[in-house]
Amino acid sequence: MPSENPTPIPRGSLQADEVVRQLRHLPAAARVLPRLKKLLSDGNSSMHEVVEMIRLDPGIAARVLQMGNSIYYSQGLHCYTVGEAVDRVGYNQIYELVANAVASQVLVRPLTVYGIEAEELWRMSVVCAFASETLARHLHLDRDIAYTVGLLHGVGLVAIDEWAFRRQPGLRFAAGALPLETTEAERAVLGFHNGEAGAALLRLWGFSPVMSEPIRWQFHPRITASHQKFSVVLHLAKRLRTAVCTGSLEISNGEKDLLASLNLRNQTIEQLLEEVQARLQDIRSLLETNSPDRSVLDFPNGERTIHGTGVTRTMMDRYA
C-alpha cells in the first residue's frame, strides 16, 4: 500500500542529478503517436507536417532537440526549436529518429506518484506550450523558446515518477494548488522539487540554460535575474493551462503583481485564454482521426511493421 506520509530521505543523500539519470528518454504521447505513424507511412507527407506533429509530443520533441544539441551536430551552438534541430540534423536522421520512437511504442503512462493520468499529462504539456507561446507573442519575446519551455515544463514530474518506480514505489504526492503545487511536499521528502529535477534533466541532455532555467524557476520566477522573462511567462502560462483544463481562472495576488509588471490586464488575459482554448480545440480535431491498426515504415535495411498503439510495460522494458 502507498504510504500516506512518505518518509523523508536523509538530507543531502539524494540529488536531482542522480534522479534524472534514471530516465533515458521521455515516452511518446498516445494522442500523437497514431497520427505520426500515419504521416510517416504516407509518402506524400511533408517534413513540415511531421515537424508540426512532433511539436505536439513532449517526448519526441525532446529527443529531436537532444540530437540537435549533441556534440556531433551542434558544433558548440545550441538549437532551441524542433525546426532548428531538423534543419541541423537533416531529414533522413530525423525520419529515422521519429520512426524508431514510433516503432518502440513506449507510451506515456500515468504518473502514479502524482495521480496524473497519461491523457491529462499530455494535455497539461501541450496547453502550457500554447499558453507560453501566446504570452510570448503578446510580450514580444521569442515564441519558439517559450513554446518549448512550456511543452517540457513537467519533465521533472516524469523523472521523479520513474525514479520512484524503481527505488521507492510507495511514494505519493497529493495534488497541490498553484502556484507551488507539489513543491513543498517534494522538498520535504526528496530535498528538491520537480522544477529542479526538470532543469537537471535538460542540462544532462545538453539543453541551453535559456530553456532549462525557466523550468527550474517556474514556481518562483522573480528569484532569477538572468532568466526571469521566460520564467515569468511559464509561471503565468501554467495559470492559463490550469484554467483551460479546469474551466476556472483564478489569479493569485502574486500573479496579479506579475501581470501588472508586464502591463497585462485581466481583459487581455481572458482574450489570451480564449486563444489557447481555440488552439486546443483545433488540435483535438486534428488528432481525432482514424489511424490504421497496421503501419509499415521504410528503413535503409528494410521495412518495419508496427501494430496498434497499445503497449504493456514491465520493469525491464519501461522507457527503454
Q: Give the C-alpha separation, 152 to 18, whole Å.
A: 19
41 in a structural domain: yes
Query: What pLDDT shows up at residue 279?
Result: 94
Compute the mean pLDDT over every residue in the chain, rounded to the nearest whole number.
Answer: 84
Q: What length is written for the chain?
A: 320
193, 219 Cβ separation under 8 angstroms: yes
Query: Could you list the residue range(s) of the whole structural domain that residue 72 is in?
Result: 33-107+288-307
pLDDT at 105 exceeding the cut of 80: no
179 in a structural domain: no
DSSP assigned state of 26 = P
310, 153 Cβ separation under 8 angstroms: no
54 in a structural domain: yes
Closest CA to 125 of 211, 55, 227, 23: 55
Q: Give the C-alpha separation, 205 to 268, whole Å.
A: 36
Q: Give the total number of structural domains in the chain.
A: 1
91 in a structural domain: yes
Spell 241-273 as b/e; 16+ CB within 10 A means b: bbbbeeeeeeeeeebeebbeebebeeeebeebb
88 in a structural domain: yes
49 in a structural domain: yes
pLDDT digits (tens, 9 = 90+) for 12-55: 789 999 999 988 888 888 788 778 777 877 778 888 888 899 99
85 in a structural domain: yes
pLDDT digits (tens, 9 = 90+) for 227-270: 999 999 999 999 999 999 998 898 888 898 999 989 998 889 99
**Lowest-confidence region among 86-100, 274-288, 292-306:** 292-306
pLDDT at 225 exceeding the cut of 70: yes
pLDDT digits (tens, 9 = 90+) for 152-199: 999 999 999 999 999 999 999 999 999 999 999 999 999 999 999 999
